[in-house]
Amino acid sequence: MRDNAPDVPQRTDPRGFVIKAIEGLRAALLPAAAFVFTRGADSGLLVGAIIGAASIVISGVFSYLAWTRLTYAVSETDIRVESGLLSRNARSVPFERIQDVSVKEGLLARIFGLVELTFETGAGAGEDLSLSYLSAAEGERLRNVVRDRRDTQAALAGEPAVEEARLLFAMTPRRVFTFGLFNFSLVVFGVAAATVTQYDDLLPFDIWDAEAWERRLAGPGAWLSGLGVFAQAVGIALLLLALALLGFATGIVRTALREWNFRLERTDKGFRRRRGLLTRTDVVLPVRRVQAVIRSTGFVRARFGWHGLSLVSLAADAGASNHDIAPLAKEAEIDPLVVETGFALPGAKADWQHISRVFAWIEAGKRMRLWLFLAAVILVVQAIVQPGSPLGSPFWALFPVAIGIWKAARIFVAMRRTRYALDKDHIHLRSGWLTPYFLTGAREKLQSVELSRGPLGRRFGYVDLTFGVAGTGLTIPGMPVDAAAALRTELLASMRLRDFSRLN
């Protein structure tokens, strides 16, 4: 498609349906593996190969037919995509509704030199318009065409232009590795447990039968019981160490896949962020669409001086509501990024206000109530079970009580650490204990202010104050009624000064 030939329907790259045919093989992997596992290597491999080949052929045929019926066209005012085999679907998106055009390159797409374009509309990740797959050159050209026509209105809004791209932040492999250490994860065990639970009937014995495990370990594991308590403790410690190492390794791998070669640049279009190892993403976030900034950290990360910075925008970021622009950075690196957004973090003289102390106690009681109920259920079950049985000991009821106390204490401290402050241009909110965060929103970009309270709030005199900010829930919980009403009045007064639809 050429710029001087608008409204001419074009098809996506024909190699795209080949990728979709290969992706259709994923649905056949599990049934094929089940045949191999249950029928042995001889007949199982043959049946599994047949299933895989049939899946590729069937998926390829349907992908080809869908490709022949998919077209796109760019006019002076919108982009139009038509698709569908039996039921035709035509969707047009005006340029002024497009928040950004992001590029995604999966592993297979990168092998074939193709990309997937997503036209983000701000209506939610499921409502965005996507085109897959296009050649890398056509994807970049189409992206620039849409942006140039969309940014005609941005120029009228007065967004400052940047002559050339400036590197604002980057993550080296060493920093990605460090970030992975903080993202400790045992998700691999959750996936394994879910798989075993779903397909335990394929195993040669009942995995949940304790006696079966005792019989299987009686021979190979008998030597461990003869080494004494100390050796058994060493064995348990080694097992926990192995789990910890696996958790760190899983976190490092997941982080590297997502954050590898992270680069944030300032261009004439806004913030351009590129990252990813196997799947490479390229997203540009216009500065004028940033509604709030969030600085977050963790209990361990804070001890080493590491923080993260993300932006709240009208568009979603791969399903997430916030755009990460500095996943792991020092405060000295975050401050210049905040300046680039046009926001200002609260200073040392900020007038921080507390929320209701009664609200903190009530929230802690809510967290405790569920676990006390679970402890009561355990005690009732124990009264029915034979007293001599190990399950009949009241000791087991202490576990939910301990968990409830921990969760109640955690939420109480977090609520007591919640503060809010207001200055001429921004509203600030900080909260959290183990994972504290600081949110700064522009007063003139707030869309609404809502007061809400339930029965307990009416009884004890507190309300929740919620601000309309796209992409995230900006709420100050448990505010005294008088303070919330005064803050709401002041914010509404500042919101009326600017027309949100014409906001720069």
Query: Which helix (DSSP H) or strand (DSSP E) does residue 327 occupy?
Result: strand 320-329
Q: DSSP characters for 278-291?
A: SSEEEEEE-GGGEE
pLDDT score of 257: 93
| Residue (of 420, 428, 409, 296) closest to 360 by Cα position | 409
- Is residue 262 within 8 Å of residue 170, measured between CB atoms? yes
Give the model's pLDDT for residue 463: 93
Is residue 328 within 8 A of residue 380, CB to CB? The reply is: no
- Burial group, residue 264, by CB count within 10 angstroms (0-12, 13-18, 19+): buried
Confirm if 91 and 101 have CB atoms less than 8 A apart. no
The residue written with tokens 């879910």 in the block is 194
Q: SS3 of 318, please?
A: coil
In eight-state DSSP terms, residue 200 is: G
Backbone phi, psi, residue 89, to 5°: -130, 125
The closest alpha carbon to 81, from 148, 123, 132, 124, belongs to 132
Domain 166-177+258-341 has CATH 2.40.30: no
Residue 275: what pLDDT?
93
Domain formed by 16-157, architecture: Roll (2.30)
- The answer to whether residues 430 and 415 touch, using CB atoms and an 8 Å cutoff, is no
Predicted TM-score (pTM) of the model is: 0.75
Maximum C-alpha span of the chain: 86
Which amino acid belongs to residue 396? W
Which residue matches tokens 């593996």?
A: 33
pLDDT at 380: 78
Helices (H), 444-480: 455-460
Residue 214 CA, distance from chain mean position: 42
Cβ contact 67:16 at 8 Å? yes
pLDDT value at residue 204: 57
pLDDT truncated to tens, each residue of the chain (504 aa)?
A: 444 445 678 888 888 878 877 776 666 666 666 666 655 555 556 666 676 677 777 777 888 888 888 889 888 888 888 888 777 788 888 887 777 788 888 888 888 889 998 887 765 555 678 888 899 888 888 888 887 777 664 454 444 444 467 899 999 999 999 999 998 876 666 666 656 555 555 555 565 555 665 555 555 555 555 555 666 677 778 878 888 888 889 899 999 999 999 999 998 878 999 999 988 888 888 887 788 899 999 888 999 999 999 988 765 555 555 789 999 999 999 999 999 998 988 877 888 999 999 999 999 998 888 888 888 887 777 667 655 555 556 677 788 888 889 989 999 999 999 999 998 889 999 988 888 889 998 888 888 888 888 899 899 999 999 887 765 567 899 999 999 999 998 888 887 776 555 544
Please check whether residue 185 is in contact with residue 247, taking contact to mean a CB–CB distance below 8 angstroms.
Answer: yes
Question: pLDDT at position 161, please?
Answer: 45
Q: Omega before 437 cis (within 30°)?
A: no
If you ran DSSP here, which 8-state letter would residue 342 be given?
Answer: T
Cβ atoms 176, 260 nearer than 8 A = yes
Residue 277 and residue 260 in contact, taking contact as beta carbons nearer than 8 Å: yes
Amino acid occupying residue 282? D
Q: In the chain, which residues fall in CATH 2.30.29.30?
A: 16-157
